[in-house]
Chain A
Amino acid sequence: MELWNTVVEGTVMYAVLHPPNFAAQVAAQQRPELRKRAFALVDGEPPTEVVVAANKAARSGGIEAGMSRLQAETVPGVIILRRVQKDELTAEAILHTIACMFSPRVECVESDAGTYALDIRGMNGLFGDETQLANKLRRRIMTAGFLANVAVAENFDAAVCLARGRTGVSVIPSGQEANALRDLPLHVLNLSEDHAETFKAWGIRTCGQFAALAEIDVISRLGPGGRQLHALARGEWPHLMFPMEPSFEDTLVERTELDFPVEALESLLFLLRCMTDVLLERVKTKARAIASLRIVLKLDGGKRHERVVRPALPLQDTPTLLKLLQLDLETHRPGGATVGLELYAQSATPYRAQHGLFLPQAPEPGRLEVLLARLRKLLGDERVGSVELKDDHRPNAFRIVPFAPAPPKKTDQPSFSVATSLRVCRPPQAVSVILVANTPARVFWDNQRYAVREIAGPWRVSGQWWSEANWCREEWDVRLETQDTERVCRIAYDPRSRCWYLQGTYD
């Protein structure tokens, strides 16, 4: 146990960068003319906006956090600005990038915006000793336009407290955390309002005064929270570092620039195969699969051609993904030569299914996706899929939706009589009709003369009368016959165009 402590305590070192008054710093960085003037930032929904930050000049003029906008406006010479969260996020990203230059293990201190803790173990060879590293880090941050306190300590929270409370660079030697924190005010411990009130009542103002109290007495009065604060004040609270890792999805990008423009799709597919392989390998290391691929072709002349291929199920199969890409690009060809390729992948949990011996037959998802892509290429996007009826009585009131058969499952068969089906003419075919007593008696269609043997109708239907797309027609069911054939059809009369149409044949 002693050996374990020695090894850990002797090796871990944390550097914490803390930009004080971060929101005000960001505002001043965005608008440099504010640096020499007093300003305050307000946030919240009007008219209940409150002051969230102010620069030193404004604070000396009487501005305090928590004041309402109206109160802040009464202070002369203070500019009131709205807080811009987007700028703060950008500034945080800049500070994070700088922190990543000094250490691969960086943790964000969530209680303070823009504050980052770096594990600087083993960085001596690159940046010198702790003091040199801290100075270099601070200078780098200043170059980016921010002022930051940098503290280095073996204890994570001691470094955080020191960065909050002491300006400039502070390096605490090993085992001297309590001494270093002794003179710092208690607010560096990030106290809750209740605890702050309690300590004020006790007359305790510094960490040293608090650390001098007996731990048992503190726990008996403040509970477990008091124990943590006491350990923080002594610089002894243990912390397990959780380094920020770059988003896995952000890493699923492959880019290639070409030396000369390429028009042939086959050449691009050769490159795409390599890029897909790389992405798939990366995805497989996390035991995941590719849910979608977004390909961006940079075209000669500055244009971009972007396509997204989204298999029905996440795939781990390069040939299938490549075939889908190929079919999609063949269907939607880029309008020029390609000078660059970007391939973005989105990962998902791989599809796993336990098929049953006695389940009904269903297409295998991977093969089905390629099949549908091929059929779309052959017939067109709008001619392949399942049909979904619209809530409309207009002819052809349906939409085509992607074919995604539900999991095989038996349903009870309702016992209905067999329905007479209509074979629809798309588009409706114009026919000539002879009327007798306002009823069709003869129909001429497709160079044939049909006599109307039986007739039912007219069925008057209309819709969309409230818009320009209004429609109406009179439908008749007719049994037509010639000398040797007979057929039952539906014909319709359109009063607007005064034309007769054959809508379909019952079969």
Chain B
Amino acid sequence: MSASAAIRLQVETALAKRVPAALTLKIKQAPELFSTGIGEIDAVLGGGIPRGSITEIAGAASTGKTSFALSSIAAITQSGAACAWVDVSDALSPESAAAAHIVMKRLLWLRMSSDRKKPAADMPGSRLEQALTATDMLLQAGGFAAIVLDMSDVRPQDATRIPLQHWYRFRLAAEQARTALVLLTQTPCANSCAALALRSEPASVRPFSSNGETALFEGQRYRLVRERDRNESSALHRKKLSTRAEWNSGTPWSRVR
């Protein structure tokens, strides 16, 4: 044993009661990933969205955030796990969820009050506060593989005003509960608490088809940009991954044609 190793062992032994393995580097475990159900995105993310972390997807309207989240939830519920959808604007379409092949019985849908004129009449707090409280409860209770906090319709100035302590709290709770918390926002707000930050944006416009005699909206093409991935530096990611992916979504009636 070399002298340095002996000294290190001596120091570690002396500090063992207060700081176990003080001078030994902690081995970082490879994150468990949930497939998103979209091959192009899984390739960019190295397998999917990380479990036990916050994944934030920011982007304007009609950039595919909801389709992406529904596809991810569909893949997770099909694997047998339970998920929750915290719907700040009460905007989830059950028909779209069914078309995405979500196992409905495994999805808990929490709808915030849509009565915009009097949100505090009989409910404590605004819809956003309700959503944050409900998300906190879900994370503390545990047992959900993924929770989607859908703030897509929340104005950016309101979303960025959410105290950072909420996101710290959610990050810790998600880690303990081994839950993937997916945020859908117009602008990034979780900052460094998000292990994976994605930006969605429209790709090349896919025109309405005029295949038949009438025009038909058959789908969209979206682009997803990986802005930050805390697990990117993991030794497990041997090859350099691309930072952006383009993917298609189709309307249910386009499958019939």
Residues of A within 8 A of B (CB): 359-364, 367-368, 370-371, 374-375, 378-380, 383-389, 398, 400, 403-406, 408-414, 416-427, 454-456, 477, 479, 485-489, 504-507
B252 at the interface (CB under 8 A from A): yes
The answer to whether the Cβ of B91 comes within 8 Å of any Cβ in the partner chain is: yes
Q: Cβ of B248: which chain A residues have Cβ within 8 Å of it?
A: 417-418
- A383 close to B111 (CB less than 8 A): yes
Contacts of B31 in A (CB 8 A): none
Tell whether, in the assembled complex, residue B251 and residue A419 are in contact, meaning their CB atoms are under 8 Å apart. yes
Q: Which residues of B come within 8 Å of A, CB atoms? A: 37-38, 60-68, 70-71, 75, 78-82, 89-101, 103-114, 123-124, 130, 133-134, 137-138, 141-145, 152-153, 178, 202, 205, 207-208, 214-217, 219-220, 247-252, 255
B108 touches A386 (CB 8 A): yes
Residues in chain A near residue B138, CB distance under 8 A: 371
CB distance from A282 to the nearest CB of B (A): 30
Query: Which of B93, B133, B217 is close to A378, meaning CB atoms less than 8 Å apart?
Result: B133
CB B68 to nearest CB in A, in angstroms, measures: 8
Q: Is the CB of B78 within 8 A of A411?
A: yes
Other-chain contact of A406, B106, B123, B124, B250 (Cβ < 8 Å)? B106
Q: Which residues of A contact B81 (CB under 8 A)?
A: 360-362, 408
Q: Which chain A positions have C-beta within 8 A of B247?
A: 418
Q: Report B-chain residues with C-beta under 8 Å of the C-beta of A398.
A: 94
Do A488 and B178 touch across chains, with their CB atoms under 8 A apart?
A: no
Cβ contacts under 8 Å, A362 to chain B: 80-82, 143
Interface pair B100/A507, CB less than 8 Å apart? no
Residue contact A387 to B94, C-beta cutoff 8 Å: yes
Chain B, Cβ-Cβ closest to A365: B143
Please classify the interface of chain A as helix (H, G, I), strand (E, B), loop, or mixed, using the class held by over half of its residues: mixed
| Nearest CB in chain A: distance from B225 CB, A | 17
Given contacts A383-B113, A410-B79, A488-B62, 7 further A-B contacts (CB under 8 A): A383-B112, A384-B109, A416-B255, A418-B68, A426-B90, A505-B61, A506-B62
Q: What CA separation (Å) do A479 and B218 show in the bound complex?
A: 12
**Chain A residues whose CB sits within 8 angstroms of the CB of B207 once the complex forms:** 454
CA gap between A487 and B63 in the complex, in Å: 8
Report whether A387 and B208 are in contact in the complex, using a CB–CB cutoff of 8 Å. no
Contact between B114 and A507, CB atoms less than 8 A apart = no
Cβ B66 vs Cβ A405 within 8 A? no
Q: Are B93 and A455 in contact (CB under 8 A)?
A: no
| Chain B residue contacts of A378, Cβ below 8 A | 123-124, 130, 133-134, 137
Instruction: Tell whether A361 pairs with B143 under 8 Å between CB atoms, given A371-B138, A379-B130.
Output: yes
Contact B65 A507 (CB under 8 A): yes
Given A379-B123, A411-B103, is A361 in contact with B144 using a C-beta cutoff of 8 Å? yes
B80 touches A422 (CB 8 A): no
The docked-state distance in angstroms from the alpha carbon of A486 to that of B201 is 11
Return the chain A residue nearest B36 by Cβ.
A418
Report B247 CB to chain A, min CB distance, Å: 7
Pairwise interchain contact B78-A507, C-beta atoms closer than 8 A: no
Between-chain CB contacts (< 8 Å), 15 pairs: A361-B144, A361-B145, A362-B81, A363-B82, A364-B142, A378-B124, A398-B94, A403-B108, A411-B103, A417-B248, A418-B38, A420-B67, A423-B91, A423-B93, A456-B214
- A386 engages B104 (CB within 8 Å): yes
Select from chain B the residue with minimum beta-carbon distance to A424. Answer: B93
Q: Are the C-beta atoms of B82 and A507 separated by less than 8 Å?
A: no
Task: Known A367-B141, A379-B113, A417-B255; judge A507-B62 contact (CB<8 A).
Answer: yes
Contacts A374-B137, A423-B66, A507-B63 hold; do A386 and B250 have CB atoms under 8 A apart?
A: no
Specify the chain A residue showing the minimal Cβ separation from B80. Answer: A360
Q: Which residues of B contact A412 (CB under 8 A)?
A: 78
Shortest distance between the CB of B113 and any CB in chain A (Å): 7
For residue B250, which residues in chain A have a CB less than 8 angstroms away from its CB? 417-420
Closest to A453 in B: B205
- On chain A, the residues within 8 Å of B133 by CB distance are 378
Q: Cβ of B91: which chain A residues have Cβ within 8 Å of it?
A: 423-426, 504
